[in-house]
Amino acid sequence: PAASVVGTDGFGTLNNCANGYTPWGTYLTCEENINGYFGATTTASGSPVNDTTFVPNARESRYGFNAAGFGYNWHHHDARFDLNTAQGRAEADKFGWVVEVDPFNPNAKPVKRTALGRIKHEGAEHTLAADGRVVVYMGDDQAGEYIYKFVTKNKYNPTNRAANLNLLDEGTLYVARFAAGTVAGDNLGPGEWLELSMNVPVLAANFATLGDLLVNTRKAADLVGATRMDRPEWLAVNPTAPGEIYCTLTNNSGRTAGTVDEANPRANNRYGHIIRWTEDEQNASARSFQWQLFVQCGDPTLSDASRQGNIQGDKFGSPDGLWFDDRGILWVQTDISTSIVSRPLAERGDYRNIGNNQMLAYDAVDGVFKRFLTGPRGCEITGVVTTPDLRTMFVNVQHPGEPAS
């Protein structure tokens, strides 16, 4: 079909990463590394080649768009993905959203819920606020990006499914700021949810409309002074501790000593960490919270203290997937880079003692991480769910055997 340059229609979804669901039974699929599918060519037909003279605008640069993309070369065959066409540049803004899919209605079109912001989405974890509004927590999966939450305008109606189907269209988007505590180095402190709307003067001065702001969600978060995190990925709501939320921060080897902070305390953070917070009054719609570092990952057998971490139990690094079962057991999955786990152990550098990607279980009663399974070489462990009786578990083993290059 013909593309809509003005952006009122979107055709398809891509690079769907982690997911979520809603209380009314719809599925939320999250568009992540959207920039990799776009590129720029020197010609509109014939045998196009990458155009190294392509200059992204500020928004395109902020989301990583460039002439070559990830090498998929879609832009060589479809003008929708060619950034040297007006169509391609308009198309780029149509990706980077949370997409709601209704599995109970095969005739329903999937809907991009733009009110939740345009980022490199990694998951959409929901819970209910004290007044019945729906709250969705989201991570932007790139080093130095942010943690967000969205609070719906209207309340969830448990007796009328149809009344909830557009609930995610209206509400308020927030981004997290993690402030330092009163004692330096204790890795805990207060936090604040910063509103991203046209009600905020600095945002109203920089964006023409709410739609403009949402397409530029990363810039809006920059402007309000949110905390840059070490690659925010999955989030999980603790079912046994009201208002308690966890987020995996996979790694950030690019963080320098001059940019560390209490919530991201390690320079060259190759192992990552997990942060948790409790919303004030245990209410998910609260504007403030109290946070602490849950665990710093690493290898306690190394001599360098900055790489040892503080794990009790089995060691791991690069935490990614995160999920609570109904008992309150926290399941943690790792995503060590394929460039590392596809190599023999002796060639894995900082990860030589950790092994392949794995899934661990954490029970708050004993405070110990216990390895549950290990994947084959070259894979990522990502995604887990059980049947209600907890007798059957489904675990996703992604791209096993993938080579290092």
Of 146, 148, 325, nearest to 236 (Cα)? 325
List CB contacts of 346: < 8 A, sequence separation 6 or more: 352
Which backbone phi and psi does 302 adopt, to 5 degrees?
Answer: -80, 155
pLDDT at residue 1, as a whole number? 43
Q: How far apart are CA 271 and CA 32, in angstroms?
A: 22
Which backbone phi and psi does 61 adopt, to 5 degrees?
Answer: -65, -40
Of 97, 285, 291, 287, nearest to 195 (Cα)? 287
**CB atoms near residue 253 (< 10 Å):** 14
The per-residue pLDDT for range 95-128, each reduced to its tens digit, is 999 999 999 999 999 999 999 999 999 999 999 9
404 residue type, one letter: A
Q: How far apart are CA 147 and CA 218, in angstroms?
A: 11
Q: pLDDT tier at 154 (50, 70, 90 boundaries)?
A: very high
Share of residues in the chain with pLDDT > 90 (%): 83
The per-residue pLDDT for range 338-354, each reduced to its tens digit, is 999 999 989 999 899 99
Q: How far apart are CA 33 and CA 31, in angstroms?
A: 7
Q: What is the mean pLDDT of the chain?
A: 93
The per-residue pLDDT for range 395-405, each reduced to its tens digit, is 999 999 988 76
pLDDT at residue 87, as a whole number? 87
pLDDT at residue 266, as a whole number? 96
pLDDT at residue 48, as a whole number? 56
**Structure token pair of residue 394:** 């489904």
The per-residue pLDDT for range 172-182, each reduced to its tens digit, is 999 999 999 88
DSSP β-ladder status, 147-155 and 133-140: antiparallel
Of 229, 261, 236, 217, nearest to 146 (Cα)? 229
Stretch 155-172: mean pLDDT: 97
pLDDT at 147 exceeding the cut of 60: yes
